[in-house]
Amino acid sequence: MAFIGVDLHSNSFTICRLEADGSETFETFQLSEADIGRFCQSLDADDRIAVEATGNTAWFCDEIRACVGRIVVVNPRKFQVIRKSVNKTDRNDARALAFFLSRDMLPETRLRSAAEVELGSLVHTRDVLVKQRTMLINKIHAVHLRHGVKLKKESLSSRKRLREMDLGRFTPLEQVELGSPL
């Protein structure tokens, strides 16, 4: 059984394989079908892998799950060894994951289900859209205030009211700004 620390990135990953006798080997793979296949071929059924939770961790774990005995997904906010490291390299991060995995001292987290990921993404998109809408309403309000026109912000929440706005008093550039949210 080997303990394998994986420093995962968006286009590659570096591993540290810590054997039972204490020997270490390092290797870097691309996140390609061929390299992931080559990585899986190097694994034994009783190997254990530690990888930090990042944006593509769930996909990576799905790709290698059948090749190993156990995958530990590490909460990076609770694993201070890597987060606060002054000598931050891919090899050192992978080595730390492998070492602490061998000692069963990693702050494990669970991966979210596909439904949870989709719902979280939808909520985030809605949050972004609401914030953009608020910024546009504030912008329209500020342009009006520069011309001495006091409006209630609530009146800018309606499409009908926005379309009824008289843009004649504004400069051509301000008309472009005010016309864009309509």
Task: Please enumerate in sequence order all residues whose Cβ is within 8 A of that of 136, keeping only pairs 6 or more positions apart, or say none.
Answer: 181
Please, what are the domains in the chain? 3-102 (3.30.420.40), 114-179 (no CATH)
Record the pTM: 0.73
pLDDT in tens, 34-76: 999 999 999 999 999 999 999 899 999 999 999 999 999 998 8
Residues of the chain predicted below pLDDT 70: 82-86, 180-182
Burial class (CB in 10 A: 0-12, 13-18, 19+), 139: middle
